[in-house]
Amino acid sequence: MLMKLAGKIAIVTGAGRGIGRVTALALAQEGAHLVLAARTVSELEVVAEEIRSVGREALAVATDVAKKVDVDAMVQQTLKRFGKVDILVNNAGFADHKAIPDISEEDWDIQINVNLKAVFLCTQAVFTRMCAQGSGHIVNVSSLAGKYYPYKMAAYSSAKWGLGGLTGVTQEEGRPHGVRAILIRPGNVDTQMQHDNHDVYPEKLMQPEDIAAVILLALTQNTRAYTPVLDVYPSENVQKEDSWEAKWYGSSDEKKRELYRK
């Protein structure tokens, strides 16, 4: 069977669980060898073993992607082991939804750092080499919070809107050198971060496999075509009727004043 990514070297951040884990496994099934980056190396090693079981190579690297020294070390390990980087999937993310008056400086910094700064650091670490080799894909996993203006998500939404700008500039600078940047904006996906921040019907959520399939589509699109942004929505409304989101978006301004910060 012809594998679409045979021999490609892919870095996936946040690869220990959720969308990152499933994406790494999907890329391995298509022939790619994987570098798995996250802070919890024990989770990465489990995924690495799954990848090796299908005949691909996998390197697990404990990485705080919001720290330049960690990112640079991870990329250097990648180059030492494989000699190149063909694909970067910036998937690591963090959310802690609060109303603006309740967001501390620390809350703000961690969400900007993990959701935006980390993507810049990882992109910067591979960009020059990708341009020199004349090819490469950088896939940035964002959120529909980077398309709309969701209540209680000022820090997270700001980072995701910024990620859209970073992706566009990466594409503009990379395109003449054969490097593509693609923005994926999923809606509600069945991940721990989703359950930590939203009151939803679990059975209506998209699964990580749905997003991995979209990422794979972006990576295997014929070079004569280019899709810069892919938005992925659940087929049904996932919010429970008594959730704070349902109450907020279905309310008058007077009612919203009563609900604010509850």
- Positions annotated as catalytic residues are 156
Report the 3 state secondary structure along the chain.
Answer: CCCCCCCCEEEEECCCCHHHHHHHHHHHHCCCEEEEEECCHHHHHHHHHHHHCCCCCEEEEECCCCCHHHHHHHHHHHHHHHCCCCEEEECCCCCCCECHHHCCHHHHHHHHHHHHHHHHHHHHHHHHHHHHHCCEEEEEECCHHHCCCCCCEHHHHHHHHHHHHHHHHHHHHHHHHCEEEEEEEECCECCHHHHHHCCECHHHCECHHHHHHHHHHHHHCCCCCCCCEEEECCCCCCECCCCHHHHHHCCCHHHHHHHCCC
Report the 3 state secondary structure along 110-160.
Answer: HHHHHHHHHHHHHHHHHHHHHHHHCCEEEEEECCHHHCCCCCCEHHHHHHH
Q: Which two tokens stand for residue 175?
A: 């395109």
Q: Are 2 and 31 in contact, with CB atoms under 8 Å apart?
A: no
Beta bridge partners, 259, equal none
